[in-house]
Structure 1
Amino acid sequence: MLPITDFLSCTDPLDEFDSLSYHQTHHAKTYVTGLAAARSKTVTGIAREVLPAGSDRALNKFLTEYDWDEDQLNHERLEELQKHGETRWSQDGYIVIDDSVFQRTGKELPGAGEFYDHTEGEPVWGQDLVYSFYTDDKTSYPLVFRQYEKADDEDQDDADETKYDLSREMVTELEEEVGVPADTYLFDSWFAHDSELIKHVESYGKDWIGPLRSNRKVTYANQEMRVDALEERIDKEEREIDEETYKIWTKTLPVSKLGEVRLVIAEKVTDDEEENPIKYLATNKIDAPSAHIIRSYSYRWRIETFFEDSKQDLGLGDCEMRDSDGASRHWHLQMLTYSLLRLGPESSVSERLVSKASSLRAQLEHGLKEAIYNMFSWVRDQPDRDLDGLMEEIDHLFLHSDGSL
């Protein structure tokens, strides 16, 4: 990998953050630049490839010893996003709650344990983070997160918080501290199973949409039955929604643990030889059109894209910190990196257009181009160096970054 001679311009907003001192801002810029542009996303890798880092020891102390508040940093990140029209949240947006498991090998990593990974379809060893995520027609970014840790078998009487507990904590933070105005929460079937989470969301006057598991009990025609058994009894109406064909049935009826809710049974018609996928969507939006409920729930997929992009390109699962505070700071800085890339630099029209791209890949490519430009600028700014001396210095930079183009 080429040596990174300067901070990426997307880190400029950090100069205005009150949560960081002058020297801490330098380290934060180093880390964000490394997560965005370095080949290795570990402390050692970032310090090796981002030349302003100085040393991995200083960067490690920034994560584990320096006095700064990652929660305050996160709130300043969200405040910065509200200064720009393309990332400003609104009532029409959605808050998604979901978790993701990062497969790891280290036994001493904070919170590491055996968790079920739905992408693998089996339990894996790793770390489990529960996230809240904002999304609307124009933007998407993470809000806050909690790490889920399982209690040891012998400590079950003093078990740690469940993922449902952590989710309710996040809702409280978003509503009472952060002040996200989005009217609607989206869950997958696991989180929608917790009636207390649903009640907690409703206590703030917010709406929710989530799928039911196929064995969830509903009451129809004075008879209690599984929702998948109900699906076999009803006649669905075919409709076009956003150029997709669905067979839909909807009714307001009682659902176990949830009370009276709107149920939408939606079978998506595909060309595949396998059976058409069916969703049993429940919501407290009693009067909303079926198309609105189906279209709204499709926004939940944005958090899956965040997990995928962040794991592949931004070091979300690469944290090697054995200190829980250091690991938390790594994940907060990763959210900061994702958001600053989404926001994009504002120094030119072309750069603003890059910030509006739907895929994070465009922003990462822009960061790589900027790193190359900074390298060329560094060469240009050495007018008094003879060619042999300049080439020797360039060789030293590449050796320092321990990589190749």
Structure 2
Amino acid sequence: MGVLIAWIKRHGEEDGYLCLDDCLIEKAFAKKLPWAGWTYSFAKKRKVYGLHIVVLLWCTSDGRWRIPVAFRLWRPKRSCAPHTYRTKLRLAEVMIKEVIGSGLKARYIVFDTHYTAGWFTKMVRRLGLVWVGTLPPRTSVVWRGQRRSVAELARRVPLKWHKRLGMRATAVVVYAPKYGSLRLVVTRNRHGNHEYIVTNDPGGDLTTVVLRKMRRWSIETLFRDSKQFAGLEACQCRVDQAMVRHVGLVLLTCVVMQMMRRFMGESVGSVKERWQLEVMRDGESSPPLLKACPLHLRATA
């Protein structure tokens, strides 16, 4: 991870932002694995047995680079001493302080509802970062001298259609006892569901705040690519050092495959397929085309 941070700073990438999230790896039969435990899967809407990896990702605004700069494996309470247990928020706190302390520049950091905790956002603000997250519906806020939940506030404020975003939204400045003064953006999608996006940037434009929140999807695509093309779920070891090294090498592999792209829009899967074909050919040229091959198929034969 230190090598990747140094690579970012050496290439002079300034227009970047941070994404924070955790990835769930199912290990249904790994009962002796100290990292695994019962946890809730939002994708499957039920509890599964697996392990969590908290990842801090650095991305460029144009979507060219998705570089993991820190990660931690979360250990359940049953497999560690009480004084050594750390929640995912505490692990994220250590990662952010390490990355910012290394001198890496970021315009803002974006995360989901789980990491939008009061003490955590205040810590991020003290580090000089602009953060963007989402609030739970029951969070109490004060608006125009009245205290109510954000869900109730969303039903009272009028929403306007924004063509660029393709949704109805509005922005207000509220005070939350746990967070302080916030810029709250209430959005409603085509299904009628509300989302409560908040940021500590009081002068943030509505469109800018929503687009920043949408860019959190970059870390989800990294998790998908690391599972499908880099073997994130393939490790079967029980030793702590081996598990940590496996995760680190998988994340490094994802970065290397991004560097091997021929153009910016090429997917990681295409890169892996191209290099698998190169390895199988082993430097040999393709055989000549068959005479029975039709003319319109010879270009792709």
Residue 72 of structure 2 corresponds to residue 146 of structure 1: yes
Cα distance in 2 between the residues matched to 1:329 and 1:154: 20
Indicate the SS of the match to 1:152: helix
Aligned equivalent of 1:402:
none
Residue 216 of structure 2 corresponds to residue 300 of structure 1: yes
Residue 281 of structure 2 corresponds to residue 373 of structure 1: yes
- Conserved in 2, the CA contact under 8 Å of 1:81 and 1:343? no
- Conserved in 2, the CA contact under 8 Å of 1:341 and 1:364? yes
How far 1:81 moved relative to its partner? 4.8
User: Scaled by the length of structure 2, what TM-score is found?
Assistant: 0.88
Distance of aligned partners of 1:154 and 1:315 in 2 relative to their CA distance in 1, 3 Å threshold: closer
Corresponding letter in the other structure for 1:166: L
Select the residue among 247, 260, 265 that pairs with 2:186: 265
How far 1:338 moved relative to its partner? 0.5
Residue 107 of structure 2 corresponds to residue 183 of structure 1: yes
Indicate the SS of the match to 2:105: coil
Superposed CA RMSD: 2.0
Q: Percent identity between the aligned chains?
A: 25
1:26-56 Cα shifts (integer Å, max 9, x gaps): xxxxxxxxxxxxxxxxxxxxxxxxxxxxxxx
How far 1:227 moved relative to its partner? 0.6
- Conserved in 2, the CA contact under 8 Å of 1:253 and 1:260? yes
How far 1:82 moved relative to its partner? 4.8
Distance of aligned partners of 1:83 and 1:366 in 2 relative to their CA distance in 1, 3 Å threshold: farther
Aligned equivalent of 1:289:
205
Q: How many residues align?
A: 282
Aligned equivalent of 1:135:
59
How far 1:159 moved relative to its partner? 5.7
- Conserved in 2, the CA contact under 8 Å of 1:216 and 1:256? no
How far 1:358 moved relative to its partner? 5.2
Aligned equivalent of 1:238:
161
1:183-242 Cα shifts (integer Å, max 9, x gaps): 2010101101x222111111121100001111111112222111111111111111122x
Corresponding letter in the other structure for 1:246: M
- Conserved in 2, the CA contact under 8 Å of 1:210 and 1:283? yes
How far 1:376 moved relative to its partner? 3.1
Aligned equivalent of 1:254:
175
Corresponding letter in the other structure for 1:93: G
Aligned equivalent of 1:161:
86
1:313-363 Cα shifts (integer Å, max 9, x gaps): 21111111110001100111111100111111xxxxxx642xx23532122
How far 1:80 moved relative to its partner? 3.4
- Conserved in 2, the CA contact under 8 Å of 1:89 and 1:182? no
Select the residue among 352, 357, 360 that pairs with 2:268: 360
Which is richer in strand? 2
Distance of aligned partners of 1:110 and 1:374 in 2 relative to their CA distance in 1, 3 Å threshold: farther
Corresponding letter in the other structure for 1:300: R
Indicate the SS of the match to 2:77: coil
Aligned equivalent of 1:117:
41
Cα distance in 1 between the residues matched to 2:113 and 2:253: 30
Cα distance in 1 between the residues matched to 2:278 and 2:32: 37
Aligned equivalent of 2:293:
none
Residue 118 of structure 2 corresponds to residue 195 of structure 1: yes
Select the residue among 201, 205, 227 that pairs with 2:128: 205
How far 1:154 moved relative to its partner? 10
Indicate the SS of the match to 2:276: helix
Which is richer in helix? 1
- The structure with the largest alpha-carbon Rg is 1
**Structure showing greater relative contact order (alpha-carbon pairs closer than 8 Å, 6 or more residues apart):** 1
Cα distance in 2 between the residues matched to 1:259 and 1:337: 41
Corresponding letter in the other structure for 2:270: A
1:246-267 Cα shifts (integer Å, max 9, x gaps): 2111111112310111000011
Aligned equivalent of 2:252:
336
Cα distance in 2 between the residues matched to 1:343 and 1:265: 38
Cα distance in 1 between the residues matched to 2:266 and 2:45: 29
- Conserved in 1, the CA contact under 8 Å of 2:173 and 2:182? yes
How far 1:99 moved relative to its partner? 0.5
Distance of aligned partners of 1:358 and 1:288 in 2 relative to their CA distance in 1, 3 Å threshold: farther
Aligned equivalent of 1:101:
24
